[in-house]
Structure 1
Amino acid sequence: MAAHRARRWSLGGLVLLLSAALATAIVVSASGSGVSRASAAVGAQTWSDEFDGAAGSGPDRGRWTLETGGSGYGNHELEYYTDSTANAALDGQGHLVVTARKNTDPGLNCWYGPCRYTSARLNTARSFTQAYGHFEARIKIPRGQGVWPAFWMLGSDIGSVGWPNSGEIDVMENIGKEPGTIHGTIHGPGYSGAGGLGAGYTLPGGAAFADAFHVFAVDWSPNSIAWSVDGTAYETRTPADAGGNKWVFDHPFFLILNLAVGGDWPGTPDGSTSFPQSMTVDYVRASAWNDAPGPGTGTTGAIKGIGGMCVDVAGGSNADRTPVQLHNCTGNPAQQWTLGGDGTVRALGKCLDVAGGSTADGAAVQLYTCNGTKAQQWTYTAAHDLTNTGANKCLDATGNSSADGTRLQTWTCSGGANQKWTLG
């Protein structure tokens, strides 16, 4: 847990921003994409940004507000946040690139004097707020001492109740001196700043988060908040963890992306830190929480198909591209599947995946690192079909066979016994 830093908010610009947002009566907003996923484990997607646009263009101002200023944001940060495309721009390849640079403008002043760095901080306070649901972003973070990327959320009532009474959910924070570790934390009255509730997640094998994209997510319901990285859950907090203090996660929050430089927690960049440094965001998505979910929601256990055979990860391996097959039911972990709160079907810490994202009949189904693509989005219906929503095709036992080792594939839904599945 990141227990030794203060929190990052500005009593100036942010409160003014929230006052304007409240004046427009934003509550639970469904602006942006409204993709329907009938019978999915969570409600429909309520908001997203896939960052499609021309290289060099700014982020969509209908979705994002770019904050500006160099106040230090309560943490003695060193950057000046600008609304320039030099600090936040699309790359033309479906990404938002948030870049921290050494400042060259002598007219920019920060709390400590002439600003040393510029960067960007974006929020959805004016365009999108939501209580409960699944929130995720696929991000490749920067690296270096004193660099502080984050994807997080603040309560939309901060303008009237202040922080930490508004609540804060940090989906992902990283400080550059910990290249292989990210932190997920909540802050509220009596458990804020150094007393925030959370945990860290460290990549195995000494890997660094800056080396590849990763999916950072929270699943937020009225009674819990759970964090995950690449589909692997690592921390859950409930009202009991607040130790008798008020649980303030019962109202709409808005989203924030930012890349800070310096501050009390990460410390100051040193001679080992190169600039510019960039946080590259592939997408940000939100889905509704559904208190009346479709069949099988939240189930963890066996998935049984034709002949009573179980859906099985071949050899019990969690390597990417491991075949998924039918096998006699054994109850081992290779046959324990969870219908996640984000439309995924998971086993062994990875996702049920259509190879290559194919939409063709006969596409192989495999285990693969969770990456948020449509190849890993599934709907379990009242008719007991398990449908890949990317291809609009059903999970299918090849050749109508129930033999051990029968490979699973996707195929046009026919209603046949080889496409019917029971859970638990």
Structure 2
Amino acid sequence: MRFPHSRLRTRVLLAAGAALLGTALLQAPATARTPSAGSADAMAPQAVIWEDNFDGPAGQAPDQNKWRYDIGGSGWGNNERQYYTNSTRNSALDGGGNLVITARRESGGFQCHYGTCEYTSARLLTAQTFTQTYGRFEARIKIPRTQGIWPAFWMLGGGNWPNDGEIDIMENIGREPSTVHGTIHGPGYSGGAGIGASYTLPGGQQFADAFHTFTVDWAPDSITWYMDGIQYQRRTPADLGGNTWVFNHPFFMIMNVAVGGNWPGYPDGTTVLPQTMTIDYVRVSTLGSGSSGTPITGLAGKCVDVAGANSADGTTVQLYECNGTVAQQWTRPGDGTIRALGKCLDVANAGTADGTRVQLVSCNGNAAQQWVYTSGRDLVNPQANKCLDVTGNNSANATPLQIWTCTGGANQKWTV
């Protein structure tokens, strides 16, 4: 496993914050925003419950009605080296619609578990202001990079760790500038035994070079992780090896930048400070139930359909009489993909030949999952430069779909 950090730091949470977890503290739902290019789409969010867009003048502290602070230099159970403060030197708005958390090297003035603290940073949390059970939790963040730095966006279910549960939406360690991790911790699967996966940017890109959107869709029996709308992990009670699923009660959110610790290691001669984590927004939405999209209709007025409503990778996508089921509910989150049942419309094996079948596959960012809807009502896969096509111009139920050279025929016309 790649998660050797212990997370005992959760035991020092404020008792007042933990006590609030008995009831979800919700604001009045607002109308949901249109999903951005980076938004995930496994279960379309229905309404925004809570959000912070960090609007305000440069140097202003984050909204105390939304965020409070953990303060101190206890090591947080991981032998971390920073002292968390509530100073605007460590967390403040930048005047451009962002919150900036800054980790700094210090010359003294703060006492840590190991002596005089060498570093300060900030850890913001909603334990005393907002908790929620289930939903889409999302933030658009530009993370730092350097040896010994540890940025995170995560959630806790209370102060009794790991029994109350932990959901790590995004963690990164500075020595892995191209990789982020998503993990769950609970009784029997905590610390180094946490259950998770990682996502690595292609082509040597680094997360510190741009903003990226980190999302989990949390439902009663599943948690699904996305990076820029690409699903890279889904966990259910079946993944726990008989251990208890502890993700059915309110959790609160945390954002922090740690310095040092058992997992990331410690600053060395290559470390550059200060380092900043810049957050564009944090948003929590409800998740839809049942239908989460709209039909795509084509030949003979029939619908694009996932065979058997089966979400397994490789399931055939076909033409079928419109029936309103989730197998026919398609969404376009703005990143070029078309999605149903939490997965993407995909050209099998990234093929480009006429007759290559079309299927449902986990979203992975490949060109095989990119589609352009033209003014002529064609759905074109740009990599193949071919159209979504009803095989044999056959309008019978269960006729499979494929890609084919665009002809302008009725079997290639779609209403999206």
Does the alignment reach a TM-score above 0.5? yes
Work out the CA distance in 1 between the residues paired with 2:252 and 2:368: 29
Work out the CA distance in 1 between the residues paired with 2:372 and 2:63: 31
For residues 278-302 of structure 1, give each alpha carbon's deviation from its aligned partner in whole angstroms, at most 9, with x where no partner exists. Answer: 0011111111133x344548xxxx8
Aligned to 1:16: 15
Work out the CA distance in 2 between the residues paired with 1:349 and 1:57: 45
Aligned to 1:242: 240
Counterparts in 2 of 1:30-69, with a 5 A limit?
30-31=26-27, 34-36=30-32, 41-69=44-72
Query: 1:296–1:339: 8 Å Cα contact kept in structure 2?
Result: no
Aligned to 2:7: 7
Query: 1:149–1:174: 8 Å Cα contact kept in structure 2?
Result: yes
Counterparts in 2 of 1:85-124, with a 5 A limit?
85-104=88-107, 106-124=108-126
Work out the CA distance in 2 between the residues paired with 1:192 and 1:353: 43
For residues 159-217 of structure 1, give each alpha carbon's deviation from its aligned partner in whole angstroms, at most 9, with x where no partner exists. Answer: 4xx10000000000000001111110000000000100001111111111111111111
1:28 CA displacement: 2.4
Work out the CA distance in 2 between the residues paired with 1:37 and 1:90: 23
Change (3 A) 1:227 1:36: closer
Structure 1 unaligned spans of 5+: 312-319, 325-329, 341-345, 355-364, 369-401, 406-417
Query: 2:216–2:225: 8 Å Cα contact kept in structure 1?
Result: yes
Q: What SS does the corresponding residue of 1:139 show, helix, strand or coil? A: strand
Work out the CA distance in 1 between the residues paired with 2:368 and 2:14: 40
Work out the CA distance in 2 between the residues paired with 1:219 and 1:55: 32
Query: Which of 208, 211, 216 does residue 210 from structure 1 map onto?
Result: 208
For residues 65-88 of structure 1, give each alpha carbon's deviation from its aligned partner in whole angstroms, at most 9, with x where no partner exists. Answer: 111100010000000000011000
Aligned to 2:297: 304
Normalization by structure 1: what TM-score? 0.70
Aligned to 2:263: 265
1:43 CA displacement: 2.7
1:332 CA displacement: 3.4
Work out the CA distance in 2 between the residues paired with 1:203 and 1:331: 20
1:309 CA displacement: 9.8
1:33 CA displacement: 6.2
The one-letter code sitting in structure 2 at the alignment partner of 1:98 is I
For residues 34-71 of structure 1, give each alpha carbon's deviation from its aligned partner in whole angstroms, at most 9, with x where no partner exists. Answer: 22479x82331111111111111111111001111000
Query: 2:296–2:415: 8 Å Cα contact kept in structure 1?
Result: no
1:351 CA displacement: 8.2
Is 1:136 the counterpart of 2:142 in the alignment?
no
Query: Which of 321, 332, 356 does residue 347 from structure 2 map onto?
Result: 332
Counterparts in 2 of 1:21-420, with a 5 A limit?
21-22=20-21, 27-31=23-27, 34-36=30-32, 41-104=44-107, 106-155=108-157, 158-159=158-159, 162-290=160-288, 292-294=289-291, 296=293, 303-305=296-298, 332=347, 403=408
1:31 CA displacement: 2.3
Work out the CA distance in 2 between the residues paired with 1:348 and 1:46: 34
1:21 CA displacement: 3.0
The one-letter code sitting in structure 2 at the alignment partner of 1:289 is L
Change (3 A) 1:62 1:323: closer
Work out the CA distance in 1 between the residues paired with 2:144 and 2:235: 28
1:3 CA displacement: 2.6
Q: What SS does the corresponding residue of 2:31 show, helix, strand or coil? A: coil
Structure 2 unaligned spans of 5+: 35-42, 305-333, 339-344, 351-357, 374-378, 383-406
The one-letter code sitting in structure 2 at the alignment partner of 1:262 is G
Work out the CA distance in 2 between the residues paired with 1:141 and 1:135: 17
Higher deviation after alignment, 184-193 or 229-238: 229-238
Query: 1:139–1:281: 8 Å Cα contact kept in structure 2?
Result: yes
1:8 CA displacement: 5.1
The one-letter code sitting in structure 1 at the alignment partner of 2:347 is N
Change (3 A) 1:295 1:289: closer
